Amino acid sequence: MQTSEYPYLSKIRNILLITVLGTCILYFAKSLLVPMVFGLVLAMLLIPLSKKLEAKGMNRALAAVICILLMVLAFALIIGLLSWQMSNLVSDMGQIKQRLSEISSQVQDFVASHLGIAEAKQKEIVKKANTGNSITILARVTGNLLGILVNIILVLVYVFLFMYFRRHLMDFVLKASPDNQRQNISKLVPEASQVSQQYLGGLALMIVTLWVMYGIGFSLVGVHYAIFFALLCGTLEIIPFIGNITGTTLTVLMGLIQGGDTKLILGILITYGLVQFIQSYILQPLIVGKEVNLNPFFTIVSILIGDAIWEVPGMILAVPIFGMIKITCDHFDSLKPYGFLLGGDEKQDEPSGIFNRIKQMFK
């Protein structure tokens, strides 16, 4: 049987070949590609601001530097707020350790009474698990910190280069395109880039909105260090589903460690439910937009793929990358079915009545 007689088999073979080769390249070129992709994503987020500065007569290089400095300042403010809250958290570390010791004793008693493992045996197992060469651990931590610092510098350099040479890169794409597609691509690439920028900007705005909502909710229900956990839960939204559930779980655990009662735990869970409802039905379609709305199934799949290939950086970059892939697919007739597959259900029912009026208020 020849594949020429069955063209669909040849198509499947080509798709599988491209998928396997692409996965291998992404996996083995991780150290090169991760900072570059982070730089591309952040550059697309900053390009609209850079264009506004350039429209006022500012040099492109200077505009790019100012945008990068503003971004670094924003991250520094976030880290400063987290550090401020962490310092308060450290001041109560004695009380937290005492509470953890009580919980640990309760767990040991439960294991001893129900599983038959004596407390002495449990301590021996824990001691063996924690045994390690402190010098090796210190060297590993130092190496990781240096690696992170180098990657941060690389990301900032890539951001500047992508912003400064964006027109040159666009000309390259046009020159590399077939003659009969250049006019089409010259229209589609800026449009796809604009939608990507709107998506990334909307995602950043949604995270800030989540900070405010979580901060208000956690403060009302009486969570200690509400600002810290609000920033944590909102920032982890860059990893959909997994991130916000992780942040809320950590908040619940801290509430339990600090001696929180059932009322506090229920308050945290209710806050989480209300914020997720507002995010899903109001903020997501209004701020981020339906044009890059990904199917929940493929959102989770993209996160798992990103984790398998690039680990934590892959989980962070998965949704923006797949969002850009969906945008690209939506702009080419032959790829529109794949864009439809990646996208959400546009015909799904939405809340009516008062929730529509709330949407109008947000608009």
The answer to whether position 49 is within a domain reads no
Q: What CA–CA distance (Å, rounded) separates 169 from 32?
A: 19
Find the mean pLDDT for residues 5-22.
76
Closest CA to 184 of 340, 35, 36, 332: 332
Structure tokens at 318: 């998965």
Per-residue model confidence as pLDDT tens digits over 309-350:
988 888 888 877 887 788 778 777 777 888 888 876 655 444
The answer to whether position 115 is within a domain reads no
Per-residue model confidence as pLDDT tens digits over 67-94:
999 999 988 888 887 777 777 666 666 6
pLDDT of residue 107 exceeding 90, the answer is no
Residue 293 banded pLDDT, cuts 50, 70, 90? low
Question: Residue type for 21, please?
Answer: L
What pLDDT is stored for residue 254 in this prediction? 79
Do residues 130 and 140 lie in contact, with contact meaning Cβ atoms separated by under 8 Å? Answer: no
What pLDDT is stored for residue 142 in this prediction? 64
Closest CA to 264 of 314, 229, 303: 229
Number of domains in the chain: 1
Range with the largest mean pLDDT of 15-29, 153-167, 283-297: 153-167
The answer to whether position 335 is within a domain reads yes
What pLDDT is stored for residue 19 in this prediction? 83
What pLDDT is stored for residue 4 in this prediction? 53
The answer to whether position 121 is within a domain reads no
Per-residue model confidence as pLDDT tens digits over 198-213:
777 777 888 888 889 9
What pLDDT is stored for residue 156 in this prediction? 92
3-state class (DSSP) for residue 241:
coil
Helix ranges (H only) for the chain are 7-28, 30-55, 60-91, 93-115, 119-130, 134-164, 166-176, 182-221, 226-235, 242-257, 262-278, 296-330, 336-342, 354-362
Residue 169 banded pLDDT, cuts 50, 70, 90? confident
What pLDDT is stored for residue 324 in this prediction? 78
User: Other CB atoms closer than 10 Å to residue 314's CB: what's the count?
Assistant: 22
Find the mean pLDDT for residues 54-70.
92
pTM: 0.73
The answer to whether position 98 is within a domain reads no
Residue 297 banded pLDDT, cuts 50, 70, 90? confident
More confident call, 132 vs 193: 193
Per-residue model confidence as pLDDT tens digits over 228-242:
888 888 888 777 777
Find the mean pLDDT for residues 264-293.
78
The answer to whether position 113 is within a domain reads no
Closest CA to 50 of 166, 155, 170, 163: 163
What pLDDT is stored for residue 291 in this prediction? 55
Do residues 299 and 293 lie in contact, with contact meaning Cβ atoms separated by under 8 Å? Answer: no
The answer to whether position 138 is within a domain reads no
Q: How many residues does the chain have?
A: 363
What pLDDT is stored for residue 349 in this prediction? 46
The answer to whether position 230 is within a domain reads yes
Q: Dihedral sign, CA of 138, 32, 42, 330? A: negative
Find the mean pLDDT for residues 8-25.
81
Could you tell me the residue range of the domain that residue 304 belongs to? 192-363
- Name the average pLDDT for the chain: 77
Greatest distance between any 2 Cα atoms in the chain: 77
Closest CA to 295 of 342, 338, 336: 342
pLDDT of residue 179 exceeding 80, the answer is no
Question: Residue type for 265, please?
Answer: I
Structure tokens at 85: 């809250």
Q: What CA–CA distance (Å, rounded) separates 38 from 233?
A: 21
Per-residue model confidence as pLDDT tens digits over 122-164:
556 555 555 554 455 555 656 666 777 888 899 999 999 999 9
